[in-house]
Structure 1
Amino acid sequence: MLVQAFGSVMYWVSIALLVFTVVAFIDAAVHREDAYRAADKQTKPFWLIILGISAALNFFMGGVMAFLPILGLIATIVYTVDVRPALKRVSGRRGGPRRGGSSSDGPYGPYNGGR
């Protein structure tokens, strides 16, 4: 019974990782090529190939905890936490720095440290 429950958990984890990789691939596809150069990151085809291979590995080997799907997961995490925010900053999309305010502004105005 415990083995069956572990298999069920691993199935849902592999599905979640596949969805995570596919979302990262789609996000990489919608950014313009010049945004990658402006953010000083690898090229768009590089990330599309890496994330596409990662999605394929997760799809075909997702249930097996093997070395290659873990490498694909690491590549997806690198894209998500490093490349994606840099692309958003360069492209001016949501999540980038706010215009017209400083980093110490709160929801009701600037924070002055209790002075």
Structure 2
Amino acid sequence: MFQIHSLLDLIFWVLALGAFAMSVWALVHALRTPARSFAVTGKLSKKLWMLILGFATLFAFAAAVGYLYALSIFTIASVIASGIYLADVRPAVREIGKGGGSSGPYGPW
């Protein structure tokens, strides 16, 4: 017999795994980015982003292992925080490391 609850549980578990993967990706990128890049771009400090993304990863992990419900406010907040980092902060701080003297108007020579 087909049970809709088991299918929904599977869908929400996959979503929780996706939230955890996104949070880990953002946290690892923030770890590898120099603190100077955050200051130069005018974004929040590296320490504050590490704190935000650390909690986001913790809550997403808790949802992935079933401790929190996948649609809890903490899991949703972790997706929002990781999404803001990946969509706004990551592109800005990546541009800092791409400088150089041999760069033309359309990229490096």
Q: Deviations over 1:31-83 (max 9, x none)?
A: 00101001110111111110000010111134511111111111111000100
| 1:78 matched residue in structure 2 | 84
Matches within 5 A, 1:96-111: 99-102=103-106
Tell me which moved more, 78-87 or 64-73: 64-73
For the pair shown, the structure with the greater C-alpha radius of gyration is: 1
| 1:6 matched residue in structure 2 | 8
Higher relative contact order (CA 8 A, sep 6+): 2
| 1:34 matched residue in structure 2 | 36
Structure with more helix by fraction = 2
Shift of residue 91, structure 1, vs aligned partner: 1.7
What's the TM-score, normalizing by structure 2? 0.83
What's the TM-score, normalizing by structure 1? 0.79
| 1:56 matched residue in structure 2 | 58
Structure 1 alignment gaps of length 5 or more: 94-98, 104-115
Shift of residue 101, structure 1, vs aligned partner: 3.5
| 1:22 matched residue in structure 2 | 24
Q: Deviations over 1:70-113 (max 9, x none)?
A: 111111110001000000111218xxxxx42449xxxxxxxxxx
